[in-house]
Amino acid sequence: MQERPHSACWTTWIGHGGWEEYDDHGVKKRRNRTAWWVKLFPGPLRIPAKLLDKVTDDDVFTFRATWVAHTYIGDHTGNAIYKGGTTTAGLKPQNIKFFVKLTDFGIWNRGDRRTELDDDLDDVQIEFDLATQGCQIQRGDPTQLKTIEGWRSTPYLEYLVNTPKPAAHDREVCSIMPAITQYKENKGRLPLWDQELLSQQGKRLGVVRWGQGVPSNSLWSPSFRCDWKQLGGFKKEEGNTGGCIYIRADRVFTMSKSRDDEFLDVIRHIEKALNPATNAGTYPPYRPGDTTSNRDINLPPVKGPLGNELPKVIAGNYAKPPNTPEGAPLWRGTDKGYDENRAIFSKHPFSVPQDNFAMGKPGAPNYGVNYCKYYTSDVYVQYGYTEVQCDEYPFASTQEGAAKDKINYSVQGVRKSHNLLHGKLLKAFYGHYRLLTYDPVDTITKVSDSPFWVKIVD
């Protein structure tokens, strides 16, 4: 299985032989041929009867099933594909192309194909079916019953799937469920995907293996989240309106210290914040006894250092294991989340009595007031107050921003040109990879469905 945000590919060998393995007091043994055939789905997948006199216990009937899915994002109008060409003419951002191939039918013996038996398989019928949920097949016959001779002649199927806009929500999940549904006269449903096992909390527990019992948790088929929102640009004509994304693929915002030197100030800040070995030196400091409940945004901690600064737990680091707090994803926040996060460290008066420092006035707009001018005043002196902006990580556009607990975040004065360019690229990343804000009331999921990570490379 290959999973990417805008494409997915799955392939496997489907096979059956004339014996099955079983355990006899710790010794692996084979049942004789009269105890035929492990059942993959209701009705056994058998070597055709007319071949039984020609095969041995070591022979296996097998074939390969493959599918590929492609998703798209819209241009700024939402009526066409972003950077589309002749192959995407007429497509909409909520279209998904789905390709299927059944090939390599044959009788195999320990890795060698018995080609002399190929013709005996020609009249065996195999049916493919494509079911969907939350979307519709716009082009292509969903159910195709053909002989193996027919599959060998035309092994490819192509489908165009469309996700219609729901009346009450701004996004929809399209699940595509390919399956083998008939072998010879036997009906059933053999799913053609790795059925991922999820806990009730949504944690990935692994892939279901047939023969191990039926799990009590959820099974996910290949699923794509489609939307109709505009994202990705400061100006309307720069954004992307609508698109679909493969839900199970990781979305990673990658920054290079050598290639992206135009916003190196921001990269260095994020790198320091992500690293537990260095983020004790980020601002505002985190010290013993400091809690969310006693953190007064009008009285931030003294700059120091005092020598007792503690490391922070800051999420979003793709280089860390996913089951660690540092390796947990960032999640796009609510529609109002950006302002709520920035309100923790900016646009309000504050003072630090220990350093005899005060900034802002009660009741005033306080547009230029922020923690960075206290904690990183040297940057403002170096480049000039009009050429520096206050950068924050985790991003104010995420649920993990400063408002989450008022502690596990970092602010740093950076050059204005660096901050603006980085912000533009982050917006473009959101647009290309459909990282949506959400409304807790009207969004169908009620919670964020847009996780992502950051990655810093040399």
Closest CA to 401 of 346, 442, 355: 346
- pLDDT, residue 207, reads 54
Q: Is the peptide bond before 349 cis (omega within 30 degrees of 0)?
A: no
Domain check: are 452 and 315 in the same one?
A: yes
- pLDDT, residue 54, reads 75
Domain check: are 217 and 273 in the same one?
A: no
Determine, yes or no, domain membership for 219: yes
As given in the structure block, the two tokens for residue 160 are: 């165009």
- The beta-strand segments (E) located in 110-235 are 112-113, 125-133, 136-139, 143-147, 156-162, 171-183, 186-191, 196-198, 204-207, 218-220, 223-231
Helix (H, G, I), strand (E, B) or coil at 137: strand
Domain check: are 407 and 258 in the same one?
A: yes
Determine, yes or no, domain membership for 240: no
Determine, yes or no, domain membership for 239: no
- Per the structure, the count of domains in the chain is 2
Domain check: are 155 and 288 in the same one?
A: no
Determine, yes or no, domain membership for 234: no
Domain check: are 33 and 137 in the same one?
A: yes
Using the 3D structure, point to which of 229, 260, 282 is the last residue of a domain. 229
Closest CA to 43 of 250, 185, 229: 185
Tens digit of pLDDT at every position of the chain (458 positions): 788 999 999 998 887 654 455 667 777 665 544 322 233 333 334 556 666 667 776 777 889 999 999 999 999 999 999 998 888 899 999 999 999 999 999 888 877 888 988 888 888 888 999 999 999 999 999 999 999 999 999 999 999 999 999 988 889 999 999 998 877 666 778 888 876 555 554 455 555 544 444 444 445 688 999 999 999 876 766 789 999 999 889 999 999 999 999 999 999 999 999 999 999 999 999 999 999 999 999 999 999 999 999 999 999 999 998 889 999 999 999 989 999 999 999 999 999 999 999 999 999 999 999 999 999 999 999 999 999 999 999 999 999 999 999 999 999 999 999 999 999 999 999 999 999 998 877 777 777 889 999 999 99
Phi, psi of 5 (to 5 degrees): -55, -35
Domain check: are 340 and 442 in the same one?
A: yes
Domain check: are 215 and 254 in the same one?
A: no
Domain check: are 182 and 255 in the same one?
A: no
Determine, yes or no, domain membership for 242: no
**Helix-strand-coil split of the chain, %, nearest 5:** 20, 35, 45
- pLDDT, residue 204, reads 54
Q: What is the spatial distance between Cα 263 and Cα 408, in angstroms, rounded to a whole number?
A: 23
Domain check: are 429 and 306 in the same one?
A: yes
Parallel, antiparallel, or unpaired for β 451-457 and 252-256? parallel
Domain check: are 188 and 97 in the same one?
A: yes
Using the 3D structure, point to which of 169, 198, 229 is the last residue of a domain. 229
Parallel, antiparallel, or unpaired for β 59-70 and 27-30? unpaired
Domain check: are 295 and 219 in the same one?
A: no
As given in the structure block, the two tokens for residue 438 are: 């959400």
Instruction: Please give the residue range of the domain that contains residue 325.
Output: 250-457
Sheet (strand 196-198) strand order:
204-207, 196-198, 218-220
Determine, yes or no, domain membership for 402: yes
Determine, yes or no, domain membership for 241: no
Determine, yes or no, domain membership for 245: no
Domain check: are 212 and 259 in the same one?
A: no
As given in the structure block, the two tokens for residue 295 are: 């953190």
As given in the structure block, the two tokens for residue 8 are: 């997915």
Helix (H, G, I), strand (E, B) or coil at 259: coil
- pLDDT, residue 184, reads 64
DSSP state of 316: -
Parallel, antiparallel, or unpaired for β 252-256 and 240-246? unpaired
